[in-house]
Structure 1
Amino acid sequence: MSSLRRLNPTVKLISVTLAIFHVALLQNAYVTLSHVAFSLLLVFASRPRINRAVVFGIASTIVGYTWVTYTLYVLNLKLDPHTALAKTLLLSSRIAVIVLYSVFFATTTKPRDLATSLTMQLRVPYEYAFMTFVTLRMFPLIKRDLENVLAFRKVKGYVRLSKPWTAIFSVITPLLFTVVRRAVLMGISMEARGFGKFPERTFVSETRVAPRDVLFLLLFLLLVTCTTILSYTIGAPVGFSL
């Protein structure tokens, strides 16, 4: 849905952070399940383009975490299987909520818009906002560099299964060199352009808080308030998890 992608990045950041802290701090199944449903709704509505390898990695991480946590509850803490399963599913659901909200935010937010919004709406100094932009932009570039290094090794036939540590170093070394070289060149370019000389700067495309952003934030606040009140009303335990 294009409207979710047009939301102000700062509003999305505040809403997602509020929801994650809400589900992470409160030990309650109703709160967790409501956030699971809402985060799934946001992810499906935004229609993110995610690599299958990333989806497999997320799923395997959650499944592995669930299995290990259940085993520790049963073997180490000596809990009965039903109690251990309930606690494990609650913890795994909280991890899934954090992952789903993070996927929604990352796939619907452009790094440039996030940096602009941090400066214009949150009044973050643009030097620090630019650091956020560079950090987010570096991940796909490092991924591309890694793919290039692996492709070069494959073409040259550099495969030695007898000494796997040498293969690891032969991949990490050029990758680190490329990353450091790009960072140095970027620093030189920023200094040549006088970046940071003036206290304020202009932006090509400015971000503003629209009525849809206020509605989205109010929807998150309504979700947090209603689930907390509902938990108290029906007598569900609402304890802090620190």
Structure 2
Amino acid sequence: MSGHVALGVDVGGSGVKGAPVDLRTGELIEDRVRLETPQPATPEAVADTVKQVADGFGHHLGDGTVGITVPGVVTEGVVRSAANIDRSWIGTDADALMTERLAHATHVVNDADAAGVAEARYGAARGTRGLVLMTTLGTGIGTALLLDGQLVPNSELGHLVVDGHDAESRAASSAREREELSWEAWAERLQRYYSVLEDLLWPALIVVGGGVSKKADKFLPLLHLRAPIVPASLRNTAGIVGAAVLAHEQGS
């Protein structure tokens, strides 16, 4: 890869998506490739799918590091938790597995962290000083914290206990769909969740991502918080972009 291009691959519960990223602009330089996440989503099966995605962009690889996200806590390349992927990921050295499978240097990171980095560099949180809280509302709630643009990894605040419940069990987008909640009823739950986070962290900005952010006008205006709360701007490319950025920095 050239000095300003890196490949990012975003592993989700339903799809594995990847594309080369122009690190100067945060834009994809080719259409992304998406393959179904294998079921069960074991490390070996997912690694095979990631390889298929990466192989499609082999002409961009060069000597650069490939960035890969997973929906779990990642420390020093080892996956410590598993959300929406098989529990056999826990304890897996994902960096070693992916590097062996792709025959190429890789850097594995948490998916919400990658999305947060992308929004801080190129999106809704660009140029924001102080603490930015990024949340992704989907099957669960992913979170990322960035202080003056620098990532504080693996925050996992979607699992904060609020009123006796794991927050994501009541406030994730999946809970709204599962319980057939109105936007107003769901917003009440989000209000409670974000209020607790705000009292703990006092963020300068809250960014809301995940697929439901496309309908932000239906629920964000119903929230009343001290900090501005805005929809993410990179949409479904944030994980890919952030993975590419973090891999490039790791390999530099």
- Category of TM-score, reference length = shorter chain: under 0.3
Structure showing the higher strand proportion among its residues:
2
In the superposition, the TM-score normalised over structure 1's length comes to 0.26
Larger RCO: Structure 1 or Structure 2 (Cα < 8 Å, ≥ 6 residues apart)? 1
Larger radius of gyration: 1
In the superposition, the TM-score normalised over structure 2's length comes to 0.26
Structure showing the higher helix proportion among its residues:
1
